[in-house]
Amino acid sequence: MPEATSGGGAKATKVLVVVDQFPATGGSRVDKFVRFLPEIGIEPIVLAPQETETAAGKRLADELYPPSLRVHRVPSLGWSYFTVRYLSRGPGSRHYELLRALSYPERLLLLPDHMVRWIPLAVRRARRIVEEEDIRVVFTSSPPESTHLVGLRLHDSLGLRWVADFRDLWTEKTMLFRPASRWHDRAVRALERRVFRSADHVIANTPQNLARYRRRFALPDDRVTMIPNGFDPRDAATIALPPPQPRGAMRLGYAGNMDKHGLPWREFLEALGRLADEVGHGRVALDSCGYLSQEVADFVRDRGLADVVVHHGELPHADAIRIMGGTDLLVALLYEDTEYADSIVPIKLYQYLMMRRPILFVGPIEGAAAAVVHETRTGTVIPPSRGPGGILEFLREAFARWSRGDLRVEPDESAIARYDSREQTRLLARTLRG
């Protein structure tokens, strides 16, 4: 790999980082990679679509990254409005059928996904950056999977080393992979095979996904690596301990979109409502950070939980972390009724680890997410199939412990340390250098 002189006089290698949104929240996987790579002697140069840039993102970039970080923005061809909204909903969601119909023309034209519109200009700009900077390695991260087409083109035409990072499954995750026709299904699966077999190195984010990729695409051990998501320990400096007992209410924390793709939010909120009825609505509260759909808002209103659920809105990563850090019990949700649920870990689960708070994970009792909770000794796993009653049983016990001032965990610090984002970035650096 080529070298460039860093600000301190040392030599730094260069890598082109291609991602769909930068920065995302300030706490995403790629956000942290870009933040830590310069400490390891690698200079990231970012390429991202112009349409995903937001005012909040600009402020985050100014706060998190030095002025020397170069970020190239590329416009998209045409537009897509309905597809992303359709894919964010499950079959039981409001307006699902309407959005499926409205998004159909877009899904017919845009292959492999709705963000392919920026790829032609991205490839052109990437070629120019590579030539001007004498770059020899490109790192692409998905979803959306069209991002990998930039790496594929640079690899095939210029011979660049290409590292493809998969933050999620592709065609195996049927909640998001909804091809418009059988022809689209075959075409995308053929492209998926080509991407996995062409990349010099593939990165999976869970052991289960790693096993899937090896099995499906016959990848040898030296071409695939598992790098889990993680947390930035520097974020912990902004976390205040919950006030000592007694205080008025046991506070639960939830970060993220609660009703995303079949998450068991109804079961959880139903159990929370029953607990509030038993102990008093002023004695338990849920701090929620993230997008709150009208469907969830209606459920909260109809169940009389408006005085229990405190919604703080969609916040930057640092603000959400501060709020979560002031709670007594952290909540993560994941569906269990798909064949790939065991391969998924909600990213918030990693960020919860640094808070050393008890975690309630409502999701599959076997799989990657449950393994994180168990190996770090940070919480309890309850399968959604146990329903509101099973969750309520745990919440009753947690409330009793909280009332005694005994709601805490004794985590395995060595296990938690494995999810330090700086350690993950060191693994990435070794992969980028080949």
Write out pLDDT tens, residues 308-353.
Answer: 999 998 888 788 888 898 899 999 999 877 888 889 999 899 999 9
What are residue 43's DSSP bridge partners? 14
Domain 3-230+421-433 homologous superfamily, CATH: Glycogen Phosphorylase B; (3.40.50.2000)
Q: What is the pLDDT of residue 10?
A: 47
| Res 13 pLDDT > 60 | yes
Which of 151, 86, 92, 94 has its CA nearest to residue 113? 86
pLDDT band at 96 (very low <50, low <70, confident <90, very high): confident
| Res 82 pLDDT > 80 | yes
Q: What is the pLDDT of residue 56?
A: 85
Please check whether residue 218 is in contact with residue 193, taking contact to mean a CB–CB distance below 8 angstroms.
no
Domain boundaries, the chain: 3-230+421-433, 235-417
Q: Distance between CA 367 and CA 31 in Å, rounded?
A: 26
| Res 98 pLDDT > 60 | yes
Please check whether residue 126 is in contact with residue 18, taking contact to mean a CB–CB distance below 8 angstroms.
yes
Q: Which pTM does this prediction carry?
A: 0.90
Q: In terms of pLDDT, which residue wins out, 207 or 96? A: 207
Which CATH number is associated with domain 235-417? 3.40.50.2000
Q: What is the mean pLDDT of residues 121-137?
A: 97
Range scoring the smallest mean pLDDT among 95-109, 261-275, 312-326:
312-326
What totals of helices (H) and strands (E) does the chain contain, helices first? Answer: 16, 14
Q: What is the pLDDT of residue 2?
A: 47
| Domain 3-230+421-433 identical in fold to domain 235-417 | yes
Look over the chain and give the mean of its residue pLDDT values, rounded to a whole number. 91
The enclosing H or E element of 153 equals: helix 148-158
| Res 241 pLDDT > 90 | no
Q: What is the pLDDT of residue 7?
A: 43
Write out pLDDT tens, residues 55-71.
Answer: 888 998 998 999 999 99
Q: What is the pLDDT of residue 294?
A: 85
| Res 8 pLDDT > 60 | no
pLDDT band at 6 (very low <50, low <70, confident <90, very high): very low
